[in-house]
Amino acid sequence: MAYSAPRGTVDIINQAPKWQQLEQLLRTVCAYYNVSEMRTPIFEHTELFNRAVGDTTDVVSKEMYTFQDKKGRSITLRPEGTAGVARSFVENKLFANPEKLQKYYYMGPMFRYERPQNGRQRQFHQFGVEMLGVESPYIDVECMVMAVSIVESLGLKDVKLHINSLGDEESREAYREALKEHFKPALKDLCYDCNQRFEKNPLRILDCKVDRAHESMKDAPKTIDYLSESAKAHFDKVCSLLDDLEIEYVLDVNLVRGLDYYSHTVFEVISDDKKLGTGSTVGGGGRYSSLISELGGPEVTGVGFAFGMERLLIAAGDGLNEEEGLDVYVMPLGDEARDLSVQIVTMLRANGFSCDMDYCERGLKGQFKSADRFDAHFSMIIGEEEVKNEVVNMKCNHSKEQTVVKLENIVSFIDEHYGEGDHHE
Ligand code: HAM
């Protein structure tokens, strides 16, 4: 039987250096924003996602990888990261920390049973940030500025920040009623799911894929028209702060997001890059005001966002450079030279150089090809003569210069002859 990876999953092989660079860049940005890492489990109790993400969402009702463990407990592979961080925040009483604002980031695999396509997988990766504990619109803006600065540092072009507000409890209640009134006459034409949503959570009718083109969708009420005074004040402050910081944004009154925990500000980073397809969402987020209390914590709120890392990589294209090559590739000819080479690579690695050697007992031609493929700065050739004379032959693959170097001088030779900035620090 031939084995293949499950549909919607991929092996990361040649792209691994780009992933590492992306991860490094994201960690650096987090350090600039004073955001520390949190690692939560990849599976959680199913109930957590039902409660946090909402059981009328597509993510929970259609896309979760849920199974029973050996004791019959219902377990789900995390479809997103916010629920786990919120659970941990409550469980570990992080709200009691003297530092009221807690900022965390995470990156790792998430699982959604979706139809795979470019930038959409069943196992995909998210980088996410959650800032918990403070209600202020300044934090909404800090999240948005951070998201924008990430896409900028990756050199993504044609990206726009879309923002909207869903308002507080009071606004959402008024909006819910308005939606019900609006969709009631159309119910008989809408799908079964929308009829269910009408009762449980009419907001979710707006992201129905079946009824997307229905007449009633076009003139559906907008959240922005139902904001309470305090919700409006919060959102006005968000907009004026973005203006002050000269962050461009699109006020997108149709943006409602597909997860139930949001209130107040919601936002998405949308790319028109051809590699991803026009209008693709690379990341999204918003404020969640009642998630923590719903999970048994105090009345504190959070705001955050997550990027799809596959989508960031596709959109970044060549914006991330390939990995640097090896410092030295050691090329022995014959058994004695191989024995000496093992000593040399061990010594070089201990001195902080990246290096490798040929173990395949090949002639020079094949070994030079490997040095090329590994983009080695130096090829070190060791034949019988060199072993006898206790020297090696160093070829700089950039200048093509060859030098005979005594064994004891190898490290100082490399140090001296490395072009500036070439050496892996
Ligand atoms: P989300 O919009 O469901 O939000 O997902 C965030 C990002 O994950 C999307 O914009 C997309 O780039 C990526 N993504 C989602 N599904 C897939 C998939 N099947 N394949 C590849 N990429 C995908 C959240 O998950 C929220 N937890 C974000 C958040 C954090 N809100 C507040 N804090």
User: CA 327, CA 379: separation in Å to the nearest integer?
Assistant: 9
Question: What percentage of the chain exceeds 90 in pLDDT?
Answer: 88
* Cα 10 to ligand 1 centre (Å): 18
- Closest ligand 1 atom, residue 285 Cα: 31
User: CA 178, CA 279: separation in Å to the nearest integer?
Assistant: 28
List the residue whose alpha carbon is closest to atom 9 of ligand 1. Answer: 283
State the CB neighbour count (10 A cutoff) for residue 326: 22
Beta bridge partners of 67: 75
* Cα 306 to ligand 1 centre (Å): 6
Q: What is the CATH number of domain 328-415?
A: 3.40.50.800
| Average pLDDT of the chain, as a whole number | 94
Superfamily of domain 16-168+228-319: Bira Bifunctional Protein; Domain 2 (3.30.930.10)
Q: Which of 383, 376, 377, 372 is nearest to 417 (CA)?
A: 377
Which pTM does this prediction carry? 0.92
- Closest ligand 1 atom, residue 119 Cα: 21
* Amino acid at residue number 260: D
* Cα 423 to ligand 1 centre (Å): 38
* Cα 73 to ligand 1 centre (Å): 26
* Cα 108 to ligand 1 centre (Å): 12
Q: Above 70 in pLDDT, residue 419?
A: no
Residue whose CB lies within 8 A of the most ligand 1 atoms, among 40, 49, 110, 130, for a mutation test: 110
Which residues line ligand 1 at a C-beta cut-off of 6 Å?
Answer: 80-82, 112, 114, 119-121, 124, 126, 128, 130, 258-259, 281-286, 304-308, 310-311
Q: For residue range 25-46, list pLDDT tens digits in order.
A: 999 999 999 999 999 999 999 9
Taking residues 312-341, what's their average pLDDT? 91
Higher-scoring residue by pLDDT: 355, 417: 355
List the residue whose alpha carbon is closest to atom 13 of ligand 1. Answer: 308
Question: What percentage of the chain exceeds 70 in pLDDT?
Answer: 98
User: CA 88, CA 161: separation in Å to the nearest integer?
Assistant: 29
List the residue whose alpha carbon is closest to atom 15 of ligand 1. Answer: 308
Taking residues 240-255, what's their average pLDDT? 96
Q: Above 80 in pLDDT, residue 173?
A: yes
Q: Which of 254, 260, 322, 241 is nearest to 86 (CA)?
A: 260
* Cα 258 to ligand 1 centre (Å): 9
Task: Give the domain ranges of the chain.
Answer: 16-168+228-319, 328-415
- Closest ligand 1 atom, residue 121 Cα: 20
State the CB neighbour count (10 A cutoff) for residue 281: 18
Residue 95 — φ and ψ, nearest 5°?
A: -65, -20
